[in-house]
C-alpha cells in the first residue's frame, strides 16, 4: 500500500484501482480454500444492472467482504470516500455502493463453508494441510 496501516479497505481500493477488468475479485490472503466457481457466480451477480458489488453474508450476519466481487471503479471511489471520512472498516465502503447480498442459503447451494476458512495460526495451517492431503488422496 502507498499509505501503510489503512487496513483491508485500502487494500480493496488498491486492488480495484489496479484491476484490468471492470470487476475485481477480492480474496483475503488467509483463505486458501477459495472456490473459483463461487467467485464466478459472484461476478455474474456483480454485473447485474445497478449492482456495484456481490458480497456473501453468512447466517452469523457477517459480510464476507474479503471474498467478494466489486465493480472496480465504483468500489474504488467508495473506498476513497470512506477513507477520506476517516473510516477504515470495509462496511463503510459497502454503505456507499449498491450491493447484491448472497445469503447463507444461496451460499450453501453454491459452495461449502470451507471457502471462507481462515488460516492464521500454525494449528490452522496444519489442519489445512491435512485437508489438502485428504482431498488429494481421495481424488
* CATH number reported for the structural domain that contains residue 115 in this entry: 3.90.550.10
Indicate the number of domains in the chain.
1
Helix 7-18 × helix 72-84 angle, to 10°? 150
Task: Please check whether residue 1 lies inside any domain of the structure.
Answer: no
Name 29's Cβ contacts closer than 8 Å, sequence gap at least 6.
none
The DSSP element (H or E) to which 7 belongs, if any, is: helix 7-18
The enclosing H or E element of 24 equals strand 23-27
Taking 80 as the threshold, does the pLDDT of residue 56 lie above it? yes
Q: Is residue 28 part of a domain?
A: yes
Which residue range is the domain that position 118 belongs to? 7-138
- Asked if the structure places residue 2 within a domain, the reply is no
Domain assignment of residue 41, yes or no:
yes
pTM, two decimal places: 0.90
Q: What is the pLDDT of residues 12-52, one digit of tens each?
A: 999 999 999 999 999 999 999 999 999 999 999 999 999 99
- 16 Cβ contact partners less than 8 Å away, ≥ 6 residues apart: 24, 70, 72, 73, 75, 76, 79
Amino acid at each position: 500500500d502507498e499509505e501503510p496501516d489503512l487496513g483491508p479497505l485500502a487494500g480493496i481500493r488498491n486492488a480495484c484501482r489496479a484491476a484490468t477488468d471492470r470487476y475485481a475479485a477480492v480474496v483475503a490472503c488467509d483463505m486458501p480454500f477459495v472456490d473459483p466457481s463461487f467467485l464466478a457466480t459472484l461476478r455474474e451477480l456483480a454485473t447485474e444492472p445497478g449492482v456495484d458489488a456481490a458480497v456473501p453474508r453468512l447466517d452469523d450476519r457477517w459480510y464476507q467482504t474479503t471474498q467478494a466481487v466489486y465493480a472496480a471503479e465504483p468500489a474504488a471511489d467508495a473506498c476513497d470516500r470512506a477513507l477520506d471520512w476517516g473510516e477504515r472498516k470495509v462496511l463503510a465502503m459497502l454503505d456507499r455502493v449498491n450491493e447484491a447480498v448472497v445469503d447463507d442459503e444461496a451460499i450453501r447451494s453454491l459452495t461449502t463453508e470451507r471457502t471462507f476458512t481462515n488460516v492464521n495460526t500454525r494449528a490452522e495451517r496444519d489442519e489445512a494441510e491435512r485437508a489438502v492431503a485428504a482431498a488429494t488422496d481421495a481424488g
